[in-house]
Amino acid sequence: MEKKNNITMVRALGLTESISMTVGTVVGVGLFTCGSAQIGIVGKNIIWYTLIAFIISIFPAIIYGELATILPYSGGTYQYAKYGLNKFWANLAGWHYIISIVAITSGEALAFANYFQILLSQFGIHLFSNQTQLIAIVLIVIFLILNIFGVKVSSRAQNAFMFFFWGCSILWFIYMIPNINLSYLHGNINSNNLSLTNMIYILGLVWWCYTGFETCVSMGDEIKYPQITIPRALKLSIVIVFICNALFQWFLLGIVPSKYYHSISIATAPYAEGLQLAGFIGFPIILLCVGIAFGGDLSTINPGIAAPARYIYTMSKDNVFPLFFSKIGEKSKVPYNAIILIGVINIFLILTNSIIFIASVSLVSLAICYIIGCCSYIGMKIKYPSIRDMFKIKLGSLYAGITIFIYLFVILFSEKSAIFTSLLITLLCFAFYFVLDKNRLKTNKSEIVSEYREQPNDDEKIVMDRQYAIWKLCTIILATISVLLYVVF
């Protein structure tokens, strides 16, 4: 781990924290806004889009898990591209990741504001009506303060948000089961007339419900035994995200008659609005909004500030960002200046007040980042033959190639405004890189072999393996239930 003024980050995150950070980043704005709104267009066929999105996310998740065992440090794709390609591509990946995750976070803050206002309306309170942006900005400021206090504090809060969300979700599912109308699951909707362009656009929005799955690799300097923890967290997290998407989508299908699908397709809060359209008021909406707003949304905003700040910190140390942002707090052990900058960017995006635009920009930028990450995986295997034995995945290069092709396809069929914005970001990256970086394209090849090789002792390993086995068993059971709901009903 590199040092700055003898202050280093603290490896305080275990498997549970890594999962809650990763799943929290992903489960939120996509699932509870524009992702599930696509049910209003494709109906029960949403499960196919969800499955495809899962499949095209599992490949890069596995690849990133392997890359993290070689370079278990902060910076994720930026670090991988720096060695697998060069520092220019690393800089490009870093910027696109930062913009994408910040977009997710700002979209999540807006989503929280929408659900929070709906929640208050159930109690007849309209104090914050039409104050969506103000609520979102205040929320970002609160999370800036939380993250500046340090990763130990923010990770405890993250676990609380994530488990609160899961607890509310289970209670809501149990409460709503008697209200499921199985005939609604086969509602009349004609999605066969969709053009290829529309289908890929819908797939992109559903895939956005999976983006950000690699959050834990961006915080590699703060994860305990990262060569073991990160690959496990990534594999579990991507399946947990599928479970959340599949279950919530199935319940929405079973609750809302197809005659309201058009309203769902344009809804900013499809679950809350769907319940209202179906005639549900009071407790089910309150429980849902509390779970989504104070669990799902908050669990996304928290790592959505922490993760991109680690990219800025790492890039700053490499002189492709002002050195000012590499400072680490003496007590908090976090890059506080980088965290503050992420908050400022969030506020700027919130002022656009458009979740769809934010989603499109995030989708394209993160696809670019993952493409660079997969290219880095292939490049690293080619450039450093001495470490090929560290790559354990069979057909890893094939997985990377498939991912690159699919993500290029998704980009081509995205919103034109989002593609234009991403091109503008790319041009700014060019300028920023050539102005700031004084050591262009120079990396120390000896650094590719990780110096961090700390391993758990026997007792710690037993505890880690037991914890992983429990997470794995629960994930398999819930994933099976999620698929069977669509197959049986």
Q: What is the pLDDT of residues 52-62, one digit of tens each?
A: 999 989 989 99
The more confident residue out of 435 and 92 is 92
Predicted confidence (pLDDT) at residue 235 exceeds the cutoff of 60: yes
The arithmetic mean of pLDDT across residues 87-93, rounded, is 90
Q: Give the pLDDT band (50/70/90) at residue 105.
A: confident
Percent of the chain scoring above 90 in pLDDT: 42
Predicted confidence (pLDDT) at residue 469 exceeds the cutoff of 50: yes
Top-confidence range, 98-112, 117-131, 399-413: 399-413
The arithmetic mean of pLDDT across residues 270-276, rounded, is 90
Predicted confidence (pLDDT) at residue 481 exceeds the cutoff of 90: yes
The arithmetic mean of pLDDT across residues 251-274, rounded, is 90
Predicted confidence (pLDDT) at residue 241 exceeds the cutoff of 60: yes
Top-confidence range, 118-122, 234-238, 435-439: 234-238
The per-residue pLDDT of the chain, averaged, comes to: 86
- What per-residue confidence (pLDDT) applies to 3? 44
The more confident residue out of 309 and 126 is 309
Return the HEC string of the chain. Answer: CCCECCECCCCCECHHHHHHHHHHHHCCHHHHHHHHHCHHHHHHHHHHHHHHHHHHHHHHHHHHHHHHHHCCCECCHHHHHHHHCCHHHHHHHHHHHHHHHHHHHHHHHHHHHHHHHHHHHCCCCCCCCCCHHHHHHHHHHHHHHHHHCCHHHHHHHHHHHHHHHHHHHHHHHHHHHHHCCHHHHHCCCCCCCCCHHHHHHHHHHHHHHHCCCCHHHHEHHHECCHHHHHHHHHHHHHHHHHHHHHHHHHHHHHHCCHHHHHHHHCCCCHHHHHHHHCCCCCHHHHHHHHHHHHHHHHHHHHHHHHHHHHHHHHHHHCCCCCHHHHCCCCCCCCCHHHHHHHHHHHHHHHCCCCHHHHHHHHHHHHHHHHHHHHHHHHHHHHHCHHHHHHCCCCCHHHHHHHHHHHHHHHHHCCCHHHHHHHHHHHHHHHHHHHHHCCCCCCCCHHHHCCCCCCCCCHHHHHHHHHHHHHHHHHHHHHHHHHHHHHHHC
The arithmetic mean of pLDDT across residues 328-355, rounded, is 86
- What per-residue confidence (pLDDT) applies to 357? 67
- What per-residue confidence (pLDDT) applies to 443? 55
Note the pTM of the prediction, 2 decimals.
0.88
The arithmetic mean of pLDDT across residues 354-379, rounded, is 84
Q: Give the pLDDT band (50/70/90) at residue 179.
A: very high
Predicted confidence (pLDDT) at residue 488 exceeds the cutoff of 50: yes
Q: Give the pLDDT band (50/70/90) at residue 305.
A: very high
Q: Give the pLDDT band (50/70/90) at residue 405.
A: very high
